[in-house]
Structure formats: structure tokens, C-alpha cells
Amino acid sequence: MKVFVSTLLAATAFAPSAALTTELPSSLSSAQQPQWEAFVDYALDFEKPYRYFSNAEPFVLAKFRAFETNFERINVHNAGFERGEHSFTLGLNPLADLSDAEYKQLLGYRASASPSSQAVETFTAPESLEDLPDAWDWRQHNVVTPVKNQGQCGSCWAFSAVAAMECAYALSTGTLESFSEQELVDCTLGGIDTCNHGGEMSEGYEEIITHHGGKIDKEEDYQYTAESKGVCNAQDDKAIGHFTSYANVTSGDENALQAAIATKGVQAVAIDASSFTFQLYRHGVYSWPLCGNAPDALDHGVAAAGYGVYKKKDFWLVKNSWGDSWGMKGYIMMSRNKDNQCGIATDATYPIMNKEEKVEKKHLTMVDEVSELASIM
């Protein structure tokens, strides 16, 4: 993580004043002209800092090599989609210029080696799911904040935990607040470099419960910097909430996860996001049989905000933390009821407030068309 960021900063500091052009660098072959032109367009469209660099800058050429690989992956995969081989498409997004090694630095979920001391219960599936809605979307109930962006920091676990805490607080109080991921990044695990080390959602809960009286700062009071400097600057006098514990959802049980989402709120979940297909996901129900679901395969923390059926395929509605230019405006539909694919039900948790108030829910109508789904994204 630090190596990648430092390289970018150094390149920015000493970059020539010339901007990228479609003129092919001398180190590339004429056969790469189309890819180079696509790369220049990409740098401009996504406002990459290196769009102001010269074509021959080593950093630019490194970014091009990563882009070229991913550009080919997108084209090959989408051709397979057109042949009916895949249920989702890939596309260019802010991560399309990351090498495999750089991409993996974003995946900061690290399972804790020690058992939790704050989890008070395990949520189990009801005997029947008949009383649950066929589809559910917590965004429609004003308990989900807009998609955020973790930047070049392995803090996905903090964003996952905070998304669940924001929902729990909103359900309990009737007020949606944006909480501080930076507080978890700086304060959890004794101030180590969590951007580089990573963390687990339960560790974030426990930090708030054990060391901050169950209260968490608002985002406006402790703003995100995408860095972990090892200094906890929590402002407990301004913090809100009263989180007392959290619950584990029965590991590997998708019925339990469905019930937990429908009755308890947004769930903090860990998944295997190691494939380039997740990195470059654009639209559709993400189904990737090479995904692992064992605890040691999980590498990314996200938030399960709902579920439903799209084109006859069951899906989980998952909120990511890579900005709204990734995926479906920051969300992804992940396969549901498919043997716990990508481990989405392996490590699911939700925080508990000291006072839970019942919130009336209305069943949602399942969405079947791209236009309808896009309208609520």
C-alpha cells in the first residue's frame, strides 16, 4: 500500500508539465495503438492525476500495462457474456489501471485470530422464511448512507462495520447519520497501520464498545483521510449512539443471512473479492464459481443491504466502498442461494444498540428490468 501511494506522490511531484496525448510512446508497438488511445481516454474520463504527465513517464507506462491487461480481460469476458456464458458484465472503472498486486492492497479484511468478547448471540434462521419479504432493499427506508470511497487504504472492514452501525442507529432512533470510518482506522488495534495491516468488522465494533462507551463520532467531526497514522483523535464528547454488543449470523447459512437482513438491518459481511472480475464488475448478478467461501478465503469487507431476484437469479444487494463509479453506482448484485458463493454468509455480523425500536416495514416489489433497478441505484 505505502509503496504504491509513495510512487504516485513522487511521480506527481516531478511530473513534466506536458499532458498525455494519443501519440504512441516509442517503447510500445504499433499494434498497441488502439489500447493506448483507450488508455488516454480513460485517464481523462476518470480524471487520473497522471493525465498531466508525459507519455514516456515510467509511472504512466506502468499504469498503461495494468490498464492494457484489464482492458483485454473486459473484452474477453463481455464477449462471453454475449454468448450467454456469464450473468454479469465488466467495465472500465477507477480500478481498471491497478495491477493485480495493487488491487489486492485494497482488500483489507483480516480475520481475527482471537475469539470475540463482545458478541452476545448467534442469529439463527427461522424455521420458515415464508414470513419474510421476497425482496428487500434498506435504501428505500432511509437507513443507508450514500456510497463512500475508502481510497488507497485497506479499510474496507471499517466501512463495512460503519454501514451496519449507521443502519442500526437509524432503525433505533429514526435518524440517519454518517459515522466516522476514520475513527475505526485510527483507533482500532492499538493504533497500528490498519491501512496496511487491515482489520475485521467485529474489531471495529469492539473498539467503539470497549473504549468509547458505545459511542462513535460523526463523519463530519472525524473526517476520512485514507491514512492510518496511529493516533486516535476520537471526540467522545461529540460522539453519539449507544452500541452495547453485536451478533454473529450463523456461519454459512444464507437463510439466516436473509432473515437477519430483513429483520435486523444492514449486515457487515466479508467476501472473497480477489478475482479481477470483482475488481472490474459493471452490471448483472455476480456469479463466479472460483470464489472461495472458507474463512481464510475472505479478503474484503462490504455491507449486505438487501436481496431480491433479477432475471430469475437470486441476488444479494451489496454496498461496496469504492465510490459510485464502481459497479452499479457503488453496488453489486452477488449470487444468492448458490452454496454461499464468495463466502458472503461465512462471517456476517450486525451491531446492537441498547434500545431497539420496532420499525414498520413494507414489502418491496421485486425488480426485473435494468431500467427499474438502475432507478433505485
Q: How far apart are CA 199 and CA 107, in angstroms?
A: 10
| 175 and 239 co-located in one domain | yes
Residue 309 included in any domain: yes
Look at residue 111 in the predicted model and tell me its pLDDT: 86
| 184 and 216 co-located in one domain | yes
Residue 13 included in any domain: yes
Look at residue 270 in the predicted model and tell me its pLDDT: 98
Task: Identify the three-state secondary structure at position 315.
Answer: strand
Residue 305 included in any domain: yes
| 156 and 36 co-located in one domain | no
Look at residue 364 in the predicted model and tell me its pLDDT: 41
**Quick one: DSSP state of residue 225?**
-
Q: What is the CATH number of the domain that holds 246?
A: 3.90.70.10
| 287 and 340 co-located in one domain | yes
Q: Annotated catalytic sites, by residue?
A: 156, 300, 320
Range of the domain at 296: 104-375
Look at residue 5 in the predicted model and tell me its pLDDT: 47
| 114 and 64 co-located in one domain | no
The answer to whether the pTM exceeds 0.75 is yes
Domain count of the fold of the chain: 2
Look at residue 16 in the predicted model and tell me its pLDDT: 47
Report yes or no: 231 and 191 within 8 Å, Cβ to Cβ. Answer: yes
Q: Which residues contact 367 (CB under 8 A, 6 or more apart)?
A: 135, 308, 310, 373, 376
Q: How far apart are CA 179 and CA 148, in angstroms?
A: 11
| 25 and 171 co-located in one domain | no
Look at residue 67 in the predicted model and tell me its pLDDT: 99
Question: Residues 353-369: pLDDT tens digits?
Answer: 986 444 444 444 444 43
| 299 and 190 co-located in one domain | yes
| 226 and 282 co-located in one domain | yes
Look at residue 312 in the predicted model and tell me its pLDDT: 97
Determine the distance from the C-alpha atom of residue 351 to the mean position of all C-alpha atoms in its chain, rounded to a whole number: 18
Intervals of the chain under pLDDT 50:
1-7, 9-16, 356-376
Grid cell at residue 220: 463530519
Look at residue 375 in the predicted model and tell me its pLDDT: 47
